[in-house]
Amino acid sequence: MCGIVGYVGRSVDGGIAGHSALDVVLEGLRRLEYRGYDSAGVAVVSKGAIESRKKSGKLSNLIAELEAHPLPETVTGIGHTRWATHGGPTDRNAHPHLADGGKLAVIHNGIIENFAELKLELLDKGVTFLSETDTEVAAALLADIYRNKLAGDTADGRLTRAMELACQRLEGAFTLLAVHADQPDVVVAARRNSPLVVGLGEGENFLGSDVSGFIDYTRRAVELGQDQIVTITADTVEITDFFGNPAAGKEYHVDWDPASAEKGGFSSFMEKEIHDQPDAVAQTLMGRSDINGRLTLDELRIDPELLKQVNKIIVLACGTAAYAGMVAKYAIENWCRIPTEVELAHEFRYRDPILDANTLVVSISQSGETMDTLMAVRYAREQGAKTISICNTNGSTIPRESDAVLYTHAGPEIAVASTKAFLAQITAAYLLGLYLAQLRGNIFSGQIKDVLADLNKIPAKIQKILDNAEPLRELARSMANEKSVLFLGRHVGYPVALEGALKLKEIAYIHAEGFAAGELKHGPIALIDDGQPVFVVVPSPRGRDSLHAKVVSNIQEVRARGARTLVIAEEGDEAVKAYAEYVFYVPETPTLLMPLLNTVPLQIFAAELAAAKGYDVDQPRNLAKSVTVE
């Protein structure tokens, strides 16, 4: 997500003994550009004052601003590239955010879940806000503590103590960096559920959201742990917990080259993004339900009374996003009992669809710029339908042209083949379905609470799949010369089969086709020849209405005709072993949530096989990340 850099170097006689803070910070932000962002800013501490510049858009805009309005050369500075979550990508919402009369500057990566209540508390104290961001609230809280609660403290160590007290109030995910004019040679940082590493130099020290932020200057790094604060000067690094107790980070040597550092050490952005998926799901869930298990989708600015009247839902999307919609259909119809159709956006408006004011059109788009989807949304609005966008890119066109938006918080997705955005789209669609059910009272609040509890367990289950994927990677490498792979699934496993096939097509250029398993006998089984690889997504054997037996018989049908049966099944499902050449187990979870797990092995398989063929996994031939033409 956001890129963060901090630096303190040594000064001599008021001058710079080592590097210029601004140079280090800008170089670090350039290295972090790959993370994707939509605004950037820097702040330096100079002669008892904070000086800051920030601009929406790319780093080049910030650099132009700095050329027009230069900052002084100093030894202490912080910098930030923002991927907008709360508040659009504007100059005003860009970081750093200032507080304490301009003497404090703060940058942030993550989501402050309780920013709304903190903002009300600070407004009551007379604090005014310039931006829509949760970060400015964190800055104002830090300033209030620094200026008021710690009024009697000496400057030395005061920012660290203020950070400790502020972090005790903050909920959610945050990496915070702060500088204060009273302490010109100090940067204080804190982390919870969001990455932060320290770079150890000689007479200088660094902070970064990852090692790319300082890899040009040092390869000695210290990774901070959960709920830790670090105070750096040119010669010291002190780590404490949120209560001032001494703590220790984990020191290591960075042996990545700068290029692989930009991919977090992974071989491709796609691999990195596959491994980002636990976080993508967790961040998309974060802050959208309360401790009582009620959905709190405040950002969904549509009158709840209108949503209660909805009698039909149409999901519009393309490609992977459309498969996310197909998964969502099963859940939404189950929870809300509202007829839900999933339409390929480029087909939708040419079939004279039936829409009215009680139709809710939900578009799903990672980029928010897919022209097919945008044109379909425009058409739906012209026909009087209410429109909600599920989107990963804040401030993009489709959300802007929708009545409401529910952002996924997967962070920028760089690889053309969509992975973490897909799981985040499904997660957001589940939240929307539960919210509609909550409004309409379709299912008991206890059930909603249970589903949310199950959803909150998904990130750890995805991580378990990622940690145990080596046998699957070996299988993929062994199949690098295959010419065709088929994918079968039933119920929510059917869109998973379609997505697994699309991944293989997109990046390994192999013919691959997904089928509803029940469709086999109606034609596709003619494709089965000796040695034909067939992936089968097997539903859980648990539950009275399980489709397990039917899918197992589908496996037998293809196996009897010579297919290589490659099975994705739930842990503990011994029955499939008798019919499978290869079984990859995923953790148990309720049927409707299974796509969040079953998809991951198929993503890994495709990425590994494509890499084994020597293809560019991130930029496959003929494809663009966002299809902005019809």
Question: d(Cα 94, Cα 88) in Å, to the nearest integer?
Answer: 9
Work out how close the CB of 211 gets to ligand AGP at its nearest, in angstroms, rounded to a whole number: 28
* Token code pair at residue 65: 């601003």
Sort strands 220-223 and 197-200 into parallel, antiparallel or unpaired: antiparallel
Q: DSSP readout, 177-199?
A: EEEETT-TT-EEEEEESS--EEE
Q: Is 270 in the site for ligand AGP (CB under 6 A)?
A: no
> CB-wise, 222 or 274, nearer to ligand AGP?
274
Q: Is 42 helix (H, G, I), strand (E, B) or coil?
A: strand
Which candidate in 58, 449, 613, 625 is catalytic?
625
User: Toward ligand AGP, which CB reaches closer, 35 or 420?
Assistant: 420
Among 116, 439, 480, 627, interactor with ligand AGP by CB under 6 A: 627
What distance, in Å, lies between the first and last C-alpha atoms of the chain? 29
Among 289, 320, 394, 402, contact with ligand AGP (rule: CB under 6 A): 320
- Residue 500 CB, nearest approach to ligand AGP (Å): 11
Per CB under 6 A, does 427 bind ligand AGP? no
Q: Which of 77, 74, 85 is nearest to 39 (CA)?
A: 85
Residue 127 binds ligand AGP, judged by CB under 6 A:
no
The answer to the question of residue 218 lying near ligand AGP (CB under 6 A) is no
| Of the residues 365, 389, 394, 589, which one makes contact with ligand AGP according to CB under 6 A | 365
Between CA 548 and CA 575 the distance in angstroms is: 10
> Does the protein bind ligand AGP through residue 319 (CB under 6 A)?
yes
Known active-site residue 2? yes
Verify binding: residue 366, ligand AGP, rule CB under 6 A.
yes
Any residues with CB less than 8 A from the CB of 306 and at least 6 apart, and which? 386
Six token digits for residue 75: 């030894």
Contact 569, 547 (CB under 8 A): no
Give the number of residues written for the chain: 630
Question: What residue is closest to ligand AGP based on CB?
Answer: 319
Show contacts with ligand AGP in window 387-416 (CB under 6 A): 416
Task: Rank residues 138 and 416 by Cβ distance to ligand AGP and give the closer one.
Answer: 416
DSSP state of 592: G
- Which tokens in the block code for residue 406? 């529910």
603 binds ligand AGP (CB under 6 A): no
Is residue 617 close enough to count as binding ligand AGP by CB under 6 A?
A: no
DSSP state of 149: I
- Residue 397 exposed, middle or buried by CB count within 10 Å (0-12, 13-18, 19+): buried
Select the span of 43-51, 229-237, 359-367, 488-496 touching ligand AGP (CB under 6 A). Answer: 359-367
CA 227/CA 30 separation, integer angstroms:
28
Q: In the beta sheet, which residues pair with residue 564?
A: 533
Q: Does residue 383 contact residue 349 with C-beta atoms inside 8 Å?
A: no
Size of the site for ligand AGP (CB under 6 A): 15
* Sheet containing 359-365, strands listed edge to edge, beginning at the edge strand earlier in sequence: 340-344, 312-317, 359-365, 386-391, 404-407
167 as an active site residue: the answer is no
| Selected binder of ligand AGP within 318, 327, 380, 592 (CB under 6 A) | 318
Choice from 506, 557, 570, 573 touching ligand AGP (CB under 6 A): 506
Instruction: Specify the pairing of strand 39-46 against strand 49-56.
Output: antiparallel
Stretch that binds ligand AGP, among 219-227, 319-327, 346-354, 531-539 (CB under 6 A): 319-327
Closer residue to ligand AGP in complex, CB, 416/567: 416
Name which position in 284, 418, 554, 603 contacts ligand AGP (CB under 6 A): 418
Taking CB under 6 A as the criterion, the residue among 196, 321, 355, 462 binding ligand AGP is 321
**Catalytic sites, residue numbers:** 2, 625
Residues interacting with ligand AGP, by CB under 6 A?
Answer: 318-321, 365-367, 370, 373, 416-418, 506, 626-627
